[in-house]
Amino acid sequence: MRILVTGGAGFIGSHFARMMCERADVERVVVFDALTYAGNLNSILDLEDSPKFKFCLGRIQDEVAVHEVLGSEKVSHMVNFAAETHNDRSLLDVGSFIQTNVFGVHILFEATRKFGLQRMLHVSTDEVYGSTLSGTFTEQSPLEPNTPYSASKAGGDLQCRGHFVAFETPVVVTRGGNNYGPYQYPEKLIPFFATRLLEGKKVPVYGDGSQVREWIHVLDHCEGIFVALQKGTDGEIYNIGDHNERQNMHVVKVLLEETQRDNSFVKHIEDPRKGAHDARYSMTTDKIEALGWHPSRNFETELLSTVNWYRNNPEWWKKIQAKPDYSDFVQRFYGASLGADL
């Protein structure tokens, strides 16, 4: 396999690229990434030592750049992680989400067809299903996204279907649960809270924190993506989850314990979403498990390891914190509610 990993300088894509570099059956690993605020070459520094690895700077909306890399690198498989990914940012700026997650994905599908790739796997999210209080989403569940982010991701997923049915483009979609692990940009719940608590700052919890998220370790997710890439069926969708349903407040309590902080470090704030905040995500995973994939990492153990990773790698996240992208967002999004606790 000669794999193009779009968005491979981001959180999940960097783990996937590393996993691919370690596989004997993968000949070439090319990361194609625009290095937006969320892209980070420091997350893939170690890959520079691998003779099979290459980094290319480019945006997935840029057809010329995409065609250039597919042709020159003789790519056989593409895995698309490139996306605008933060729900909260999508409340501030919808346009960039549509540009990358809808239009950019269109460019990648067209290129998959034009260059005759063996397979393109599009990485999506459980959030396209919306929220369910008591049920569990299957791959057949209707798409009811509730934020501009999840709506833009659903736009990408539906193009997969359109391409497969109309052109038999060899595409597969995976929908993952909430990921956690090292190298996650510290605006997302676990690293945002972990880094703030390590620094002795308060953490802002939306409402009472009773929202339920289904967590999966990033490496379990990447292994599932590779199984779907190798063994999935064209045109099919595969949920990838680990059934670790936890209320946000439960996660916060573990983080408080692990960083030796008490409840005074929690500030409950008003939810910025005008409508309801998604209450609960939950997915069945029989389909991907039938291909031989099973998650193997324990949530509680790996959550502690993740906090330790942030504790032991302050240079990685402090460099991000020092950039205006990060501080401007935190100020804009939490400034009013956190006030002096910002």
Ligand X SMILES: NC(=O)c1ccc[n+]([C@@H]2O[C@H](COP(=O)([O-])OP(=O)(O)OC[C@H]3O[C@@H](n4cnc5c(N)ncnc54)[C@H](O)[C@@H]3O)[C@@H](O)[C@H]2O)c1
Q: Is 22 a catalytic residue?
A: no
Judged by CB under 6 A, does residue 38 bind ligand X?
A: yes
Query: Which alpha helices (DSSP H) does 139-266 contain, by range?
Result: 148-167, 189-198, 218-231, 248-258
d(CA 86, CA 321): 16
Burial label for 166, CB within 10 Å (0-12, 13-18, 19+), is: exposed
Q: Which of 155, 170, 176, 232 binds ligand X (CB under 6 A)?
A: 176
60 or 205: whose CB is closer to ligand X? 60
Query: Which tokens hold the place of 65?
Result: 């750049």
Least distance CB 26 / ligand X (angstroms): 19
Query: What is the Cβ-side half-sphere exposure of residue 293, based on CA atoms within 13 angstroms?
Result: 26
Helix (H, G, I), strand (E, B) or coil at 245: strand
Q: Is 149 a catalytic residue?
A: yes
Least distance CB 248 / ligand X (angstroms): 14
Place of tokens 């929908």: 175
Given 33, 88, 126, 242, the catalytic residue: 126
Q: What is the DSSP letter of 280?
A: B
Least distance CB 262 / ligand X (angstroms): 28
105 or 203: whose CB is closer to ligand X? 105
Q: Which of 83, 107, 121, 198 binds ligand X (CB under 6 A)?
A: 83
Judged by CB under 6 A, does residue 215 bind ligand X?
A: no
Judged by CB under 6 A, does residue 170 bind ligand X?
A: no
Helix (H, G, I), strand (E, B) or coil at 1: coil
Give the footprint of ligand X on this chain (CB under 6 A).
6-7, 9-13, 33-36, 38-39, 59-61, 81-85, 100, 104, 123, 125, 153, 176, 178-179, 185
Q: Catalogue the active-site residues.
A: 126-127, 149
